[in-house]
Amino acid sequence: MTYGAQAGTNLGKGGRTFNQTIKKPNVVYGSVTLIKRSGPACRVYDSGMLIAELEAGEASVAVRMEVGRRTLEFRDRASHVLWHSGDLKLDAQHTPQVVFDEASQPAPQARPWLWQGL
C-alpha cells in the first residue's frame, strides 16, 4: 500500500485504481412562460445571469429555471435601463405565465401571489 505523497496514484502499468463516475447535481427544475405585450426588445436576468431575450413588439419565451424564489430583472436591451425587478416563486408542478411590458409590472396570469416586486 502507498502512503504519503504518492497516495492515490497508480504506480503500475494496469488501468485506473478507481472507477470515476460523474454524478448529476440534485437540482429540481421548473418552467415559466414570459410574455411581453408590447414595447422595445428586452432582456430578463435571474440573479444577474441572462435567461431570456425578447424581441420588440409582442413576444414570448419559455424558460427553465431552478425551483424556489428567483430574483428577476427586466431590462431594456439597447440602453440596459431597468424596467422591473422582483421575486418570482417557482415550483416544479406549475408553469406560470408572466405577462409584462415596459409600463406595467410583471403579473402571473393564474396565480398573482407568485410575483412580488422589489
13 domain residue, yes or no:
no
Domain count within the chain: 1
CA–CA gap between residue 79 and residue 40 (Å, rounded): 10
Please give the average per-residue pLDDT across 2-27, as a whole number: 66
47 domain residue, yes or no:
yes
Write down the pLDDT at residue 9: 60
No. of helices (H) and no. of strands (E), the chain: 0, 9
81 domain residue, yes or no:
yes
31 domain residue, yes or no:
yes
2 domain residue, yes or no:
no
112 phi, psi to nearest 5 deg: -65, -20
With bands split at pLDDT 50, 70 and 90, how would you rate the model's confidence at 5?
Answer: low
70 domain residue, yes or no:
yes
Describe the strand order of the beta sheet including 59-66 as a list of residue ranges: 59-66, 29-36, 97-100, 107-108
Longest dimension (CA), the chain: 70
Asked if residue 34 has pLDDT above 70, the reply is yes
Residue 52's domain comprises 26-117
4 domain residue, yes or no:
no
Domain CATH for 50: 2.60.40
104 domain residue, yes or no:
yes
Please give the average per-residue pLDDT across 12-34, as a whole number: 77
